[in-house]
């Protein structure tokens, strides 16, 4: 976590107590309200948006064999967006009062209270704001018929990411794949905060050299 030392040390005193001081900073209460989101709000709100976008491409003449690869590409592109946002926005360097405050609201509160079930998924209002630049970016580089399906695939990837994030914090995986994902993500929280930025996979951590190594390999 790239913050000033005093703020950083306070932020990561988070091993067990996840609720005792959630609202201790009263001047942030109204802002924090906007960061509280139940996990199921993500699929309930954004899956219909994803389906609607994909249906737009159908209405504009694309066939199923043409749409499926676009959805898959959208999901793949999302994994890179997921990594980029987590590494360069959520873990941005901050030193000023307002910088630390903004960081806390965006991601710091999650690191301080990693098991707080209301701070594990992205608030719908913030997601809606981010949708506009991403939609326009996709629109800039694709055709009118391709844009909705590609964006819908990316939105589907986002839903998978946020639901997975909640699952990794609160579920008890029984399969090797999900067990390893949970171990990998919790390592980012409790061991090495400046590595392991991938949540749904470690692909981009491998590509960009931010893979979290196991304790045995580090020794």
- Return mean pLDDT, the chain: 85
Please give the average per-residue pLDDT across 19-39, as a whole number: 60
Q: Is residue 21 part of a domain?
A: no
Q: Contact at 8 Å (CB) between 199 and 161? A: yes
Q: Is residue 131 part of a domain?
A: yes
Model pLDDT, residue 11: 55
Task: Identify the CA nearest to 54 among candidates 85, 26, 33, 75.
Answer: 75
Positive or negative, the Cα torsion across 67, 68, 69, 72? positive
pLDDT at 24 over 60: no
pLDDT at 17 over 80: no
Q: Is residue 91 part of a domain?
A: yes
Task: Identify the CA nearest to 74 among candidates 107, 45, 38, 46.
Answer: 46
Q: Is residue 185 part of a domain?
A: no
Domain hosting 114: range is 44-173
Please give the average per-residue pLDDT across 18-46, as a whole number: 69
Q: Is residue 143 part of a domain?
A: yes
Could you tell me the pTM of the whole model?
A: 0.82
Q: What's the number of domains the chain is made of?
A: 1
Q: How far apart are the first and last CA of the chain?
A: 22
Q: Contact at 8 Å (CB) between 35 and 119? A: yes
* Most confident segment among 24-33, 60-69, 207-216: 60-69
Q: Is residue 188 part of a domain?
A: no
**% of the chain exceeding 70 in pLDDT:** 81
Task: Identify the CA nearest to 54 among candidates 43, 44, 64.
Answer: 64
Q: How far is CA 27 from CA 19, 73, 100, 108, 111, in A?
A: 17, 43, 14, 16, 20
Q: Which residues contact 184 (CB under 8 A, 6 or more apart)?
A: 196, 198, 202, 212
Q: How confident is the model at residue 114 (pLDDT cuts 50, 70, 90)?
A: confident
DSSP 28: G
Q: Is residue 206 part of a domain?
A: no
């Amino acid at each position: 976590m790239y913050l000033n030392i005093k703020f950083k040390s306070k932020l990561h005193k988070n091993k067990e107590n996840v609720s005792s001081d959630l609202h201790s900073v009263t001047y942030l209460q109204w802002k924090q309200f906007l960061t509280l989101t139940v996990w199921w709000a993500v699929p309930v709100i954004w899956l219909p948006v994803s389906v609607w976008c994909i249906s737009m491409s159908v209405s504009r003449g694309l066939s199923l064999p043409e749409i499926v690869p676009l959805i898959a590409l959208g999901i793949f592109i999302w994994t890179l967006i997921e990594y980029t946002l987590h590494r360069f926005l959520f873990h941005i360097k901050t030193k000023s009062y307002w910088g630390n405050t903004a960081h806390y609201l965006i991601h710091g509160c999650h690191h301080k209270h990693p098991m707080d079930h209301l701070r594990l998924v992205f608030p719908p209002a913030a997601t809606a704001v981010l949708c506009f630049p991403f939609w326009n970016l996709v629109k800039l580089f694709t055709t009118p018929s391709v844009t909705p399906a590609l964006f819908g695939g990316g939105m589907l990837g986002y839903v998978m990411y946020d639901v997975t994030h909640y699952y990794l914090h609160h579920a008890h995986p029984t399969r090797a794949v999900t067990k390893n994902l949970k171990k990998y993500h919790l390592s980012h929280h409790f061991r090495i905060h400046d590595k392991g930025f991938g949540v749904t996979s470690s692909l981009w951590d491998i590509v960009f050299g931010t893979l979290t190594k196991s304790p045995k390999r580090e020794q």
